[in-house]
């Protein structure tokens, strides 16, 4: 990794340690290093709008004046964009909490370093450096009324996009997850943020869910006829599933398209399965008895506990993107991730990591024994008729 173009700040009260660290950085290729002896001068160096901004600050936790923790809080409060590496001699669990704290403040922490600083470890942390992206232009906040959305559904403008789900151990495509997209004649292809809230406000998420189920089951039949992987996961609003006619309707739908229930699985957000409503649980049990799969989506964002989770008849645990994206670089995330995977394993369910965007995260998941992965690293959601072509490309590599 070339670090010659980066501006480093080394903040350390101990002049000997500070000089040693600066010299290690120079050996690794750093050309511009500012050294500061305490928290206040370090803060000023990062606030300085006249000189070149600091890209990466290595700060000692134990700084005089303003210690490392206070410095992190102050940087967050002032919205200063800088990457940090924190140095200290604290126990691993405390370092982990500091990482978590910094992340919660919105400060990008590349990691923590024990003293004396080890050059190889420092070099590995520098490899995690990514420059700040220019803030993307905010999408025009266009929202549509329930009537406009309804007219779009009636006009057949809502279609499922499919994202492949891959078995990590073999690279095989196990199935596809369905995402609703609105092919708007003027505004292009729109995601759920354009229509979900308006449907939810009218308690009519089921209207769109059923539009997606119908098309997904039809596509599953088509994929089977073409010899393609055809297991499909469908995201459902809990109210869609809880509707008294759901089972009858889904049975009619799969019969009409000649698709076996084993090809379908329904995804429900973690918050929904927290329900202790016996009627809802009965519904889930019936679905499983009929052969459908059941996935807990966004796992890790809610507050389900092991006790409750063990009683829900789910087949797959889908781990929320917030614990997956960047886990290979962050100990705090990978710790949570690996505990989610352990939980799935101990309950004898499959695990799915969503939001896998990099090769590094893919490798980490493979090493941790995750069952399946989805994400931009593999494929973006695509239209049904692009799946066969994508699969042919994918199979060239596996």
Which residues are at the interface with ligand G (CB under 6 A)? 163, 179, 191, 298, 354-357, 375-376, 381
With CB under 5 to 8 Å by kind, the binding choice for 267 among ligand G, Mn ion, none is Mn ion
CB of residue 161 to ligand G, shortest distance in Å: 7
Nearest CB to Mn ion, comparing residues 112 and 265:
265
Nearest CB to Mn ion, comparing residues 215 and 235:
235
Nearest CB to Mn ion, comparing residues 267 and 270:
267
CB of residue 163 to ligand G, shortest distance in Å: 6
With CB under 5 to 8 Å by kind, the binding choice for 179 among ligand G, Mn ion, none is ligand G
Nearest CB to ligand G, comparing residues 103 and 301:
301
Q: With DSSP H G I counted as helix, E B as strand and the rest as coil, what are the percentages for the chain, rounded to 5?
A: 45, 20, 35
Nearest CB to ligand G, comparing residues 177 and 206:
177
Other residues' Cβ atoms within 10 Å of the Cβ of residue 111: 19
Interaction of residue 297 with Mn ion, rule CB under 5 A: yes
CB of residue 267 to Mn ion, shortest distance in Å: 4
Nearest CB to Mn ion, comparing residues 60 and 267:
267
**Of 346, 391, 383, which Cα lies nearest the Cα of 180?**
383
Nearest CB to ligand G, comparing residues 18 and 329:
329
Interaction of residue 267 with Mn ion, rule CB under 5 A: yes
Interaction of residue 209 with Mn ion, rule CB under 5 A: no
Other residues' Cβ atoms within 10 Å of the Cβ of residue 20: 16
Question: Dihedral of the CA atoms 328, 333, 335, 336 (nearest 10)?
Answer: -130
CB of residue 195 to Mn ion, shortest distance in Å: 16
Interaction of residue 206 with Mn ion, rule CB under 5 A: no
Interaction of residue 235 with Mn ion, rule CB under 5 A: yes
Please give the span between the terminal C-alpha atoms of the chain, in angstroms, as a whole number: 29
CB of residue 356 to ligand G, shortest distance in Å: 6
Interaction of residue 325 with Mn ion, rule CB under 5 A: no
CA distance 254 to 224: 13
CA distance 88 to 96: 12
- Bridge-partner residues for 177, per DSSP? 163, 233
Other residues' Cβ atoms within 10 Å of the Cβ of residue 306: 10
CA distance 174 to 223: 13
CB of residue 268 to ligand G, shortest distance in Å: 12
Neighbour order of strands in the sheet with 83-87: 32-36, 7-11, 56-60, 83-87, 109-113
| Residues making contact with Mn ion (CB under 5 A) | 235, 267, 297
């Amino acid at each position: 990794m070339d670090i010659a173009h980066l501006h480093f700040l080394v903040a350390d009260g101990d002049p000997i340690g500070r000089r040693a660290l600066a010299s290690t950085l120079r050996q690794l290729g750093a050309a511009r290093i500012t050294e500061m002896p305490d928290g206040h001068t370090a803060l000023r160096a990062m606030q300085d709008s006249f000189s070149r901004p600091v890209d990466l600050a290595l700060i000692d936790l134990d700084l005089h004046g303003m210690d490392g923790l206070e410095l992190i809080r102050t940087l967050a409060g002032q919205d200063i964009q800088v990457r940090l590496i924190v140095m200290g001699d604290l126990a691993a669990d405390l370092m982990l909490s500091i990482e978590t704290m910094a992340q919660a403040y919105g400060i990008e922490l590349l990691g923590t370093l024990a003293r004396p600083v080890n050059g190889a470890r420092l070099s590995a942390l520098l490899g995690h450096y990514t420059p700040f992206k220019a803030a993307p232009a905010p999408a025009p906040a266009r929202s549509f009324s329930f009537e406009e959305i309804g007219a779009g559904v009636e006009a057949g403008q809502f279609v499922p996009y499919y994202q492949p789900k891959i078995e990590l151990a073999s690279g095989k495509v196990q199935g596809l997850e369905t995402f609703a997209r609105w092919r708007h004649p003027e505004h292009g292809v729109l995601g759920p943020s354009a229509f979900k809230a308006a449907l939810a406000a009218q308690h009519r998420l089921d209207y769109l869910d059923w539009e997606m189920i119908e098309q997904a089951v039809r596509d599953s039949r088509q994929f089977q006829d073409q010899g393609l992987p055809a297991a499909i996961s469908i995201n459902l609003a809990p109210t869609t599933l809880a509707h008294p006619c759901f089972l009858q309707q889904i049975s009619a739908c799969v019969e009409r398209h000649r698709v076996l229930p084993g090809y379908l699985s329904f995804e429900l957000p973690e918050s929904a399965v927290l329900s202790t409503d016996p009627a809802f649980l009965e519904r889930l049990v019936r679905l499983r008895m009929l052969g459908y799969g059941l996935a807990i989506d966004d796992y890790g964002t809610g507050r389900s506990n092991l006790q409750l989770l063990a009683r829900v008849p789910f087949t797959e645990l889908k781990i929320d993107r917030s614990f997956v994206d960047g886990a290979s670089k962050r100990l705090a995330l990978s710790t949570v991730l690996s505990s989610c995977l352990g939980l799935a394993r101990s309950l004898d369910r499959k695990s799915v990591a969503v939001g896998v965007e990099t090769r590094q995260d893919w490798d980490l998941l493979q090493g941790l024994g995750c069952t399946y992965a989805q994400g931009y690293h593999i494929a973006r959601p695509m239209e049904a008729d692009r799946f066969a072509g994508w699969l042919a490309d994918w199979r060239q590599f596996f």
